[in-house]
Structure 1
Amino acid sequence: MALLPIDSVLPELKQALSDHSNAVLIAAPGAGKTTRVPLALLGEKWLEEDLKIIMLEPRRLAARSSAKHMAATLGEQIGETVGYRVKMDTKVGSKTRIEVVTEGVLTRMLQADPALDGVGLVIFDEYHERSLQADLGLALCLQSQALLREDLKLLVMSATLEAEPVAALLGEAPIIRSEGRSYPVETIYRPKPSGGYLVDAVALAVTDALRAHEGDVLVFLPGIGEIRAVESMLRGRLPESSTKICPLHGSLSMDAQDQALAPLDKGQRKVVLATSVAETSLTVEGVTVVIDSGLSRVSRFSPRTGMSRLDTVAVSAASADQRRGRAGRVMPGTCYRLWSREEQMGLSPISVPEILEADLAPLLLELSAWGVQDASELSWLDEPPLPALQQARDLLVQLGALDKSGKSVTAHGKRIAEAGRHPRIAHMLLRAISIGLGGLGSEMAVLLGERDFVRYEGKPPNADIRVRLEALRGIGPYAADDAAKRRLGEEIKRLRREYDLKPTKENEENDSVQDCGLLLAFAYPDRIGRQRDNGKYLLSGGRGAEFGGGQALSHEKWIVVAEVDDSGTDSRIRLAAPVSFEQLAVHLKQEMSEETHIYWDAESKSVRGRSRKRLGALLLEETPINRPSSDLMLRALLAGIREEGLALLPWTKAARQFQERTIFARLQDASWPDLSDEALIDTLEQWLAGYAEGMKGRSDLQRLNLKDLLESMLTWDQRRELDEYAPTHWVVPSGTRVPIDYSDLASPFVAVRLQELFGLPETPRIAGGRVSLTLHLLSPAQRPVQVTRDLASFWNNAYFEVRKELKSRYPKHYWPDNPLEAEATRRVRPPNTK
């Protein structure tokens, strides 16, 4: 067996794990860590003869490939000493000591047995990819190690990871480094033309590379759609006899994946069109040329909308180097980068960890099933963000996976967690089984985890999920990729076996494609859409959504959305199905709520009531309430008064004067109650509510005696004192009771004819003598002639000028030379005067 670079550090790694519970191994791509380390550690004393090694791989393809390679190294079949467990595919036996598993499988093993009895070492391979499940698995293993299994050892392996933070997370674990071995790789920057199409640039680069270099070509593309487009272009340009085009992505069958990885006969060349699945762990035999599009497709979750979207983004510099290294595994190679040197300088150093951008509903459900209510109880390299956790909690409560408090997992939630699928999909499948639609539910569960496999023959993709279901069943107007149909068919069969869904004639009749929308509503209760007047949709979660042009579903009144791009005001719907309101009313009763809306109607100036039936943000039905409860009616009435102002109340002159007198008294002495408009508005419940009970509007309010209500806010002593402190009237020397006007609180005044004040030497005072009344002196015709707060000064000075003017205008009236000695009169003249 040929030596690999990792072999030189294996003794150091063994010693580190012998002396410590945890370790970190940093090994360059191609060093051999994935296939050599588990085999090398298998004979260590601390592992004992019966303890297993579990090695976590981020991808199914890498898990199967590495397990097969290790088994071949031992000269055994897969499933003997070395086996694997991936989603819906297991190859292990009673003697298996090394199990290569994917991330979801490790989580299920931990949930079933938190102590991981029988396991001595857990290896986290390619941890630099920082997948959500890898972070979760490491956090759970660390807690298990701390609380249940002191002897459990953990090894984190990576190619590009910054080692020190991980070592600190693992309790200052030792770091072992292997520099690896690779051949020189020439890097050619070849940016695609401005405005040009990616697939054209890639196809041209492939044909040029095949002419200029020997060996096989590995092409990195962002997704399956681009792989199919490039494959279609190349089939017309490359000779089939000597060049084989091999797609490579996680959705392919095992046989197709093996063909892409295996070497070809001498004289043949291979072009592997791959997603980022080929960046790490896998060795694609014979590759000497890498063509890198520089793009990757990642799922990003938006806590703002509660939706995930697939974004095509530039790869990180670390990923670009990983891809480049694939060209130098067996001999000197070449890497074509379809971007410029300047763009290379702008690449992010590393990829953003999935835990910071992903939908955290699966993670939160696993934590709840583990018994953790607060994610901060566990150790994380990056803690999950709180907004995404809250969004996840709300969804899990809505699905019935968590109780109403959002803290404890329910029995239904435990069944969802055991399903090993996204909580939405698992909930849908369980609900489908409960209503006799398990067959359709199993098909939908598989379809919703699959990219579009329908061949539209140049037409725009159809957003109706029923099209995909029909293509999978071999009916309908569209064909499907045969390999995808076979693989999906096998997954559906395995799922039906898992839930004991035996096909029967009754099931087949029930499994109509017309029920797709109902099952989607189980999975996406927050994305039930009702058509609006403009042809767009309002979703039950509160967001707007719309179809792109030419979609037949855009005419449906009710839909359920499975995939949506959350950008913009109205998100673009990518996958959906119609649903009837009757189906929703029968099967989603628990999602519907009835509310009584009692409100103030500004137009009628009265309280109105309506009963509303809702499905999230969707208003389903609204009917008037003729007799709302008195408490709700009173609350709405007071809200209306606050909205409209106190002018709604019956303000008589006496009521307003009483308010002003009390406010005036408070200005002098703060012990008096505050009866200002602002204070009255703020305290309606204290002084008005008891008298307004049963009233509905302005007309009812007019029956109130507002002055009596205001008086009730004063004590008995204050009411008595108010008449002395701030009297309503002042008796002038002529005997007339003149009302005091308090509208100007700083200067209360009386308006009185000048002749009625004769003989009064000083200005009258109120508020216990502290405030002088302002005197508006009037002519016999009740017109103002003077305003004063100093009556003595007026008599001594201004009176004589005023007398002269008034005497000329009112010659018959009494205008004495000495007003202080004259008799006050309400008449033209006092008796006994000439």
Structure 2
Amino acid sequence: MIARFDPLLPIAEVLAEIGRALEAGPNLVLEAPPGAGKTTQVPLALLDASWRGDGKIILLEPRRLAARGAAHRLAAHLDEAVGETAGYRVRLDRKIGPKTRIECVTTGLFLRQLQGDPELKGVAALIFDEFHERSVEADLALAFALEAQASLRPDLRLVVMSATLDGAAIAALMPTARRITSEGRAFPVTTHHLGDDSATWIEKQMAAAIRRALADEAEGDVLAFLPGLGEIRRTERELGGLADAIVLPLHGDLPLSDQDRAIQPDPQGRRKIVLATSIAESSLTIQGIRIVIDSGQRRVARFDPATGMTRLTTTKVSLANADQRRGRAGRLGPGTCYRLWSANSERALAPQPAPEIIEIDLAPLALELAAWGIDDPSNLPLLDPPPAAALAQARELLRELGALDPSHRITAHGRAMAELGLHPRLAHMLLIAKSRGLGALACDIAAILTERDIIGGPGRSADLGERLELLQSGGGDRGARARIQQAAKDWRRQLGIAAERDGSRSEAGSIVALAYPDRLAQQRGGKGQYRLASGRGAELALDDPLSRESYLAVATLDAGQKSARIYLAAPISLAEIEVDFASLITSAEQVAWNAREEFVEAKRERRLLALVLEEKPLQKPDPDLLRAATLDGIRQMGLDVLPWSNTARTLRARVAFLRRVLPEKDWPDWSDDALLASLPDWLGPHLTGMSRRAHLDRLDLHAALTDSLDWQQRQALEQLAPTHLDVPSGSRVPLDYETAEQPVLAVRLQEMFGATETPRIAGGRAPVLLHLLSPARRPVQVTQDLASFWKGAYKAVKSDLKGQYPKHYWPDDPLIAEPTARAKPRPR
């Protein structure tokens, strides 16, 4: 075994330094740009290290494609076949043998190994490749490995390799870590900005850019970055009719043979146009690439704790992503990069991509933490802590699935789930379905949910059962079907299930519901409209075969703003729901205000979370519950719904007046807000037998408010804020407390003759505001100083009134005149 090192690769200059660093200490952070050769040269350089002994070197890669590619390049450098000194282990595929000393392993698969064997027997070193991608699995694997190193394996070497991430932050997590930087020697890449930031479809922009690049550049293959599979397919269609070039897609769902076609040179010598997702940003070496065309977009999964759902979002790349993509054009020689955005918009790009731990569903992370025995993630050496809300929601889901106990400790069921290496929802589904004799069917369903859809194209139905039938009959997309069949076979092997078939299409709904109890859906309103058990709305296309089903078990849907779109589901019967989820079904009396019908609705409900499975009217609801519901209806409708009589309004105004002028006294607050807040106290006792809006018309609000005052307050109210005042004429005149800040006494001027002072109330604290009226009861003077009025303005007012009302009594001296409610005083 003689490794063929490439002295022209930039990493060659620091290989000796890397060797010395790992001889001196166990931890190393290596910063090297794309194309430096770190993925192949570093593992080979460590094969002969004295500390390795017979231990293996595990090279951790973020994706299956990267792990396989790294193993093939390592084997080529060793002039061996894959599976001899260098091999790989990925889900559904492995090539290793008894002589294998370098294993290229996906990070997710390595986590299973680490959880099962924290001591990592037989492992000498772990190399974390492409750590700058910041996947949750890589963050966790490094944190767990550091803990294992500290407590069990002080001799274990840990090497973290990153192309764009700040190495100082990583080194801070690793005790006594050395930092080594390889500057790199990438060839110059000429960059062109083609975009005008218009709304043109990205596929049309990409196809036009590819045609231009082929015309402008005489040689070299093209690597075009697009956000996802849909854009790749549409761009491929836009490129129809190209001569002397072959268009090849490259994404994670491709069969291995098709992935190899995109990576290797074309056997017929044609120029390759590789349409790739971000999978091609790093790790992979695609031979012949001299031209990169970057859409500037990538697709990421983002979890929304508010909805409990993950959605795929198309976002702009970061500057670090864009630089990595551009660097692909300069690995073999001078290259060219075309960017489908403007130079001005580039300044708005984020420097680095967001770490996955803050954006995705954390249920897998929460299960890994529990399996490792960690309750508080702050005790782990993580670059970024998981968001508290998302972690709490993840743990709640795991408790519902029986994976965690109330103290976040893993259960036996949870440990079995963790060993499967699937999302906890699907792992739970497989284990429970197996216990029911439906494990093989559950494996098929899990594979359908995790691999590319077997039915392609727009307008496809959401029926999971249709996919199961195609899987059995050999229909649908051949490549997708093969991957689904292989995945299902692998899970049957893991679970020890011999049978390939053990259930039927009709049982798919009950199996899906095991994984997604919160996505049980009940038809509501019109065809295709559903309510999820989580409380959210969801919908199907009207022409979908499932749109008439009363209940659905929903597997996949988007996180729409108002109503989520259902993409994959299976029918489920009410009887199945009642059997499978009996522990979640509750029965309770529901007495609540129906805002639409404006009455108290009293019924007995059987519910599964937000779904009402059955409801019946309550014949004799609890009077207290009826009263509380009616009060709630009044709160919703507002105080104006109550029958406010003049006497009730006046009572409120009198109390409000005393509250203002006598703040030292404990007069109640009868403002709208305060009355609404205290409805049960003052109005509740008067609502007996009332359960509809129409019933409220019978209320006596004056009595209700008066009853809320104690005896002393009622007595004081009559004395301090009387409803009427006796005036000199003998009349009893009402006081108006509502139209002004102070009470108004509107009285005809003649009735106040002989009065020398303005009347006062509130124990003499407050004068009333006199509205002195003409015989026709029109205001002629407003004053709160009657004595000054008699002395001053009365003379002019008298002259004016005498002209208008000559038959009335208008004395020269009002202080000695006899007051009268008539035109003239009665003869004595």
Q: TM-score range by the shorter chain?
A: 0.7 to 0.9
Deviation at 1:566, TM superposition (A): 4.3
Aligned match of 2:516: 524
1:157 to 142, 156, 161: 161
Greater CA deviation, 110-119 or 318-327? Answer: 318-327
1:381 to 380, 383, 386: 383
Identify unmatched segments of 5+ residues in structure 1: none
2:170 to 163, 166, 169: 166
- What does 1:60-139 correspond to in 2, within 5 Å? 60-67=64-71, 70=74, 84-90=88-94, 98-114=102-118, 116=120, 119-139=123-143
Q: TM-score, normalised by structure 1?
A: 0.78
1:250-275, Cα deviation, whole Å (9 max, x unpaired): 4455566667767898x877958574
Aligned match of 1:627: 620
Deviation at 1:157, TM superposition (A): 1.3
Tell me the distance in 1 between the aligned counterparts of 2:131 and 2:123: 20
Deviation at 1:643, TM superposition (A): 4.5
Deviation at 1:442, TM superposition (A): 0.2
Is 1:609 the equivalent of 2:602? yes
Cα distance change, pair 713–228 in 1 and its aligned pair in 2 (3 A)? closer
What is the SS of the residue equivalent to 1:156?
strand
Residue 669 of structure 1 aligns with an amino acid whose one-letter code is L
1:690-749, Cα deviation, whole Å (9 max, x unpaired): 565675467488476854863653463x55544544456656677776666655675546
Say whether the 8 Å CA contact 1:104–1:133 is kept in structure 2.
yes
Deviation at 1:218, TM superposition (A): 7.0
Is 1:673 the equivalent of 2:646? no
Aligned match of 1:364: 366
Deviation at 1:420, TM superposition (A): 0.7
Tell me the distance in 1 between the aligned counterparts of 2:482 and 2:702: 83
Cα distance change, pair 471–692 in 1 and its aligned pair in 2 (3 A)? closer
Tell me the distance in 2 between the aligned counterparts of 1:722 and 1:427: 70
1:423-458, Cα deviation, whole Å (9 max, x unpaired): 2322332333243321111011112111134577xx
Tell me the distance in 2 between the aligned counterparts of 1:431 and 1:781: 90
Cα distance change, pair 805–610 in 1 and its aligned pair in 2 (3 A)? farther
What is the SS of the residue equivalent to 1:674?
coil
Is 1:682 the equivalent of 2:677? yes
1:355-403, Cα deviation, whole Å (9 max, x unpaired): 3443333223323433444544434334444565455456545545456
Tell me the distance in 2 between the aligned counterparts of 1:9 and 1:262: 29
Is 1:515 the equivalent of 2:507? yes
2:19 to 6, 10, 14: 14
Tell me the distance in 1 between the aligned counterparts of 2:41 and 2:343: 39
Tell me the distance in 2 between the aligned counterparts of 1:789 and 1:363: 77
Cα distance change, pair 109–784 in 1 and its aligned pair in 2 (3 A)? same
Say whether the 8 Å CA contact 1:521–1:527 is kept in structure 2.
yes
Is 1:35 the equivalent of 2:40? yes
Residue 366 of structure 1 aligns with an amino acid whose one-letter code is E
1:102-140, Cα deviation, whole Å (9 max, x unpaired): 111222233334454654432101223332311222233
Structure exhibiting the larger radius of gyration computed from Cα positions? 1
Residue 469 of structure 1 aligns with an amino acid whose one-letter code is L
Aligned match of 1:440: 441
Aligned match of 1:502: 498
Tell me the distance in 1 between the aligned counterparts of 2:586 and 2:576: 16
Tell me the distance in 1 between the aligned counterparts of 2:741 and 2:89: 88
Deviation at 1:495, TM superposition (A): 1.1
Residue 632 of structure 2 aligns with an amino acid whose one-letter code is A
Is 1:175 the equivalent of 2:168? no
Is 1:25 the equivalent of 2:22? no
2:761 to 743, 754, 766: 766
Tell me the distance in 1 between the aligned counterparts of 2:319 and 2:247: 28
What is the SS of the residue equivalent to 1:448?
helix
Is 1:639 the equivalent of 2:641? no
Tell me the distance in 1 between the aligned counterparts of 2:269 and 2:158: 43
What is the SS of the residue equivalent to 1:299?
strand
Greater CA deviation, 198-207 or 768-777? Answer: 198-207
Greater CA deviation, 53-62 or 444-453? Answer: 53-62
Residue 369 of structure 2 aligns with an amino acid whose one-letter code is L
Say whether the 8 Å CA contact 2:539–2:563 is kept in structure 1.
yes
Tell me the distance in 2 between the aligned counterparts of 1:348 and 1:170: 27
Aligned match of 2:488: 492
Say whether the 8 Å CA contact 1:733–1:759 is kept in structure 2.
yes
Residue 631 of structure 2 aligns with an amino acid whose one-letter code is L
Is 1:480 the equivalent of 2:474? no
Cα distance change, pair 16–639 in 1 and its aligned pair in 2 (3 A)? same
Tell me the distance in 2 between the aligned counterparts of 1:641 and 1:278: 62
Residue 524 of structure 1 aligns with an amino acid whose one-letter code is Y
What is the SS of the residue equivalent to 1:53?
strand
Tell me the distance in 1 between the aligned counterparts of 2:727 and 2:461: 93
Residue 438 of structure 1 aligns with an amino acid whose one-letter code is G
Tell me the distance in 2 between the aligned counterparts of 1:291 and 1:768: 91
Cα distance change, pair 666–206 in 1 and its aligned pair in 2 (3 A)? closer
Tell me the distance in 1 between the aligned counterparts of 2:704 and 2:577: 56
Tell me the distance in 2 between the aligned counterparts of 1:584 and 1:491: 28
Aligned match of 1:464: 463
Deviation at 1:221, TM superposition (A): 6.5
Residue 359 of structure 1 aligns with an amino acid whose one-letter code is D
Greater CA deviation, 128-137 or 312-321? Answer: 312-321
Aligned match of 2:422: 421
Tell me the distance in 2 between the aligned counterparts of 1:400 and 1:153: 37
- What does 1:53-452 correspond to in 2, within 5 Å? 53-67=57-71, 70=74, 84-90=88-94, 98-114=102-118, 116=120, 119-145=123-149, 150-170=154-174, 173-179=177-183, 197=204, 213=219, 249-251=251-253, 273=274, 275=276, 276-283=278-285, 287=288, 292=293, 294=295, 298-303=299-304, 305-310=307-312, 332=333, 351-385=353-387, 388-389=390-391, 392-393=394-395, 395-396=397-398, 399-402=401-404, 407=408, 409-452=410-453
Aligned match of 1:3: 5
1:61-105, Cα deviation, whole Å (9 max, x unpaired): 332454466567678876676554322445567776544321112
Q: What is the CA RMSD across the aligned residues, in angstroms? A: 5.2
What is the SS of the residue equivalent to 2:28?
strand
Q: TM-score, normalised by structure 2?
A: 0.78
Tell me the distance in 1 between the aligned counterparts of 2:423 and 2:615: 36
Residue 127 of structure 1 aligns with an amino acid whose one-letter code is F
Greater CA deviation, 335-344 or 63-72? Answer: 335-344
Deviation at 1:488, TM superposition (A): 3.4
Deviation at 1:662, TM superposition (A): 4.0
Alignment: residue pair count: 810
Tell me the distance in 2 between the aligned counterparts of 1:312 and 1:699: 55
Cα distance change, pair 238–439 in 1 and its aligned pair in 2 (3 A)? farther
Cα distance change, pair 206–445 in 1 and its aligned pair in 2 (3 A)? farther
Tell me the distance in 2 between the aligned counterparts of 1:34 and 1:611: 65
Tell me the distance in 1 between the aligned counterparts of 2:317 and 2:699: 75
Say whether the 8 Å CA contact 2:296–2:322 is kept in structure 1.
no
